[in-house]
Each structure stands twice: as structure tokens, then as C-alpha cells.
Amino acid sequence: MKRNIAIIGAGVAGLSAASVLQASGARLVVLEKSRGVGGRMATKRVGEAVFDTGAQFFTAREDGFASEVQRWADAGKADRWPGSEHRWIGRGGMTAVPKLLAEGIDVERERKVTAARHHPSGYWELDIENAEILRAERLVLTAPMPQALALLEAGGVRLPDAIAAELRSVTYRPCLAALLVLDGPSAVPQEGVAPSEGPLRWVADNSQKGLCRPTAVTLHATPEFSAREYGRPESEVLEQMIAAAQAWLGGRIVSSATLHRWRYSEPVGSLPKAFSWVPELSLGFAGDAFLGGRVEAAALSGIALGHHIASQLIAAPVDL
């Protein structure tokens, strides 16, 4: 397989970069290890209940991103959080936005890249689990930074020392997410709630966001609780989180409870620039490791790297 560009990760950063590059005429592929797109802009169904499991909303602070969000809204894929002027959500779930971005792009799902090697002739070879090797002239990594660097290490790629140190400085907090289906309305405020103490960081009622009719509550644990309890059995973690959420469950019976583990939930100490580009390797990094870690930051990071690479594309690709 031959491509101008291979992008690893079909989150909002990877898909935003792909949109820019495809518009420039690049032959590209996006490789995603999961069954769906969106990364932490994730939506999960449990029976008739619908949960946003990762990012609960996003904001649009920059004018350029605000215009992009308005395009999503005009396409029927984004809405204001009910009652909020500043929060945006995906219509029917956060995953609606990345699904829109993926339209018309060659996204290969369930393609787990295990190593990335830079060939002496100047191109990239990607080892993919249960698939043939893929070759590309340029490589874009948008996975969480520890995963991105692990792919390069597996392929024997050495980054320049300064860039390697900078990228390795980005670490991540985990997050445990409990998805609860209740037998009636919750006591969660429409705008959600951020508890000031205890193991919970965020409580949201997805039915109040307009995602579903059954009461579907998402609980996000604090980074401290998540790190301490990450490897504990699901039943034990859920018991603790449900107990801590009683004030917002309205005395309702929890008819279903599921735990989702986000190992790389949010970056610690993100880099104050839009992306990183290694010209001697034709290698770029984008995503939530840059600009602050929010959905908006990840999208702007992907867009900026996409434009940077597009400006360098030559008319006729090298024959690999």
C-alpha cells in the first residue's frame, strides 16, 4: 500500500489534519485501532441509553474554531448544551462530530499499528497487526504521546534529543468513567455538576443533554481516585463511585452500571505550540499534547499541522 501521508489516530486531531490534507489533494489514510472514530469524543449505547463516556462538551474560544463549530452545527452534528451559551455537544452524542469529519476520508478502523520504521530511502513503513505493511512518505502521529513514542521506539526510530525530551515531558492523567442507567429521573442539575470533594470530578445526566429518554448518568472520577483504583475489579470501583454519587441519583435504582477506563484521559503540562514537526524524518505530532489539551486545542493542532504539511507537498509523489 502506498500513500503520501499516513495518519495514526482518528480522534479530532487526526481527522482535522486529514480534512485539510485531503482538500490539498494528498493521498492519505487514517489508521485507527478502535472500531469507531473520535477518541475521547466517544458515545456508547447501553440498551436504549446513550452516554458520552469521555469529553462531555467542548468550547469554541478561537474565532477560527468557532467558524468550524458553526459548520458542524449547520450540518446538524453539533448543538448548544441545553441552557448554555458556551458549551457545545455533538447532536445525539459527542461522536457525531468526528463521524462528520471522517466522511469522505479513507479511515481504516481496527488497524492497530505496532511499529513505525523510517526507511533509509526516506519513507515510512508501518507494521499493522493482521495486515500488510503500509508505506507512506510522511507520518502524522496523533495518539496520546506515550503511545506515539512507543511506536517509534518499536521501529528503532531515534528522535533528535531536544524534540524527544520535549515530547516525553507530556504525561497523562487517567480517568475512570461509570455509566449508570437509572429507573427514573436523576437529581443532577441540567448543566451537570463538579463535586468539590470526594472521588467524583464530574456528574452529567445524558438524558438532560437530549441524548436519550432513559436516565443515563456519566460519572467521571478524579485523577487521584482513578490512578489509585485503576486496576481494581470493575465491581469494586463501581460500588465506590455509585456510593459517592447518591446525592445526584435522586434515590433511583441503578438498573445498569458499566465502567470505562481512560488510561490517557488528559495531558499534564501540554506543550505551548500547535504541533511538532521533524523535517529530517517527515514526521509530525499533533493532538491534545499541544495547546492545552481541550477538544478545541486538539482540533486546532490537527488543522495547523495539516496546513504545514500541505504547504510542503510536491506535485508528484515519490514512487515507493
pLDDT of res. 292: 84
- Give residue-wise pLDDT tens across range 130-163: 999 999 999 999 999 999 999 999 999 999 999 9
Residues 15 and 143 in one domain: yes
- Give residue-wise pLDDT tens across range 8-51: 999 999 999 999 999 999 999 999 999 999 999 999 999 999 99
Q: Specify if 219 maps to a domain.
A: yes
Residues 284 and 262 in one domain: no
C-alpha cell at 176: 475512570
Residues 36 and 149 in one domain: yes
DSSP state of 196: S
3-state SS of the chain is CEEEEEEECCEHHHHHHHHHHHHCCCCEEEECCCCCCECCCCEEEECCEEEECCCCCECCCCHHHHHHHHHHHHCCCEEECCCCCCCEEECCCCCHHHHHHHCCCCEECCCCEEEEEECCCCCEEEEECCCCCEEEEEEEECCCHHHHHHHHHHCCCCCCHHHHHHHHCCEEEEEEEEEEEECCCCCCCCCCECCCCCCEEEEEECCCCCCCCCEEEEEEECHHHHHHHCCCCHHHHHHHHHHHCHHHHCCCCEEEEEEEEEEEEEEECCECCCCEEEHHHCEEECCCCECCCCHHHHHHHHHHHHHHHHCCCCCCCCCC
Residues 19 and 145 in one domain: yes
C-alpha cell at 110: 481496527
Which residues share a beta bridge with 28?
Answer: 5
Residues 166 and 302 in one domain: yes
Which residues share a beta bridge with 79?
Answer: 89
Q: Within the chain, which residues score under 70 in pLDDT? A: 1-3, 314-320
CATH number at residue 195: 3.90.660.10
Residues 236 and 306 in one domain: no
Residues 164 and 256 in one domain: no
pLDDT of res. 314: 54
Please give the model's pTM, rounded to 2 decimal places: 0.94
Residues 201 and 230 in one domain: yes
pLDDT of res. 319: 45
Q: What's the number of domains the chain is made of? A: 2
Q: Specify if 292 maps to a domain.
A: yes
Q: Specify if 57 maps to a domain.
A: no
pLDDT of res. 315: 43
Residues 126 and 163 in one domain: yes
* Domain of 126, in residue numbers: 2-41+95-170+269-310
pLDDT of res. 86: 92
Residues 129 and 252 in one domain: no
pLDDT of res. 316: 42
Q: Specify if 76 maps to a domain.
A: no
- Give residue-wise pLDDT tens across range 49-60: 999 999 999 999
Which residues share a beta bridge with 126?
Answer: 116, 134
Q: Specify if 150 maps to a domain.
A: yes
Q: Classify the C-alpha dihedral 75-78-83-86 as positive or negative.
A: negative
Q: Which conformational region is residue 76 in: left (phi greater than 0), alpha (psi within -120 to 50 degrees), or beta?
A: left
pLDDT of res. 269: 82
Residues 155 and 287 in one domain: yes
